Amino acid sequence: QVQLVESGGGSVQPGGSLRLSCAASGFSFSASAMGWYRQLPGKQRELVAGISSGGSTNYADSVRGRFSISRDNAQKTVYLQMNSLKPDDTAVYYCKREQIDGVVMPYWGKGTLVTVSS
């Protein structure tokens, strides 16, 4: 029932921009903290940006100032605006519903590939 569907990935040149979208369904989106994660080649999955139900945000040091997470509760969608992209941003990007211990289980989307190259 719960679904998270990422879109907006693709290929972009260094210095370019891309906006990822994550469309949610099957749960109370407005009450849920959401996150964007990425998995770089040969590395563990890492948090990129998070946004609380109230709209507060946090970012990985590597993307702070370049990326921006936002949400549209009416559309049940969370976005990741990525600017000044670098080759080392190349990764599969995943949308996640964050867990609340004993209340809500985490849920992951299937991911969308972002490739930054000349």
45 half-sphere exposure, CB direction, 13 A CA radius: 12
Taking 50 as the pLDDT cut, the residues of the chain under it are none
For 117, residues 6+ apart whose C-beta sits below 8 A from its C-beta are 11, 13, 14, 87, 90
User: Are 99 and 105 contacting, i.e. CB atoms less than 8 angstroms apart?
Assistant: yes
What is the model's pLDDT at position 100?
A: 82
User: Are 11 and 18 contacting, i.e. CB atoms less than 8 angstroms apart?
Assistant: no
- DSSP annotation of 117 reads -
What is the model's pLDDT at position 103?
A: 82
What is the model's pLDDT at position 25?
A: 97
What is the model's pLDDT at position 23?
A: 98
Q: pLDDT tens digits, residue range 92-106?
A: 999 999 998 888 899
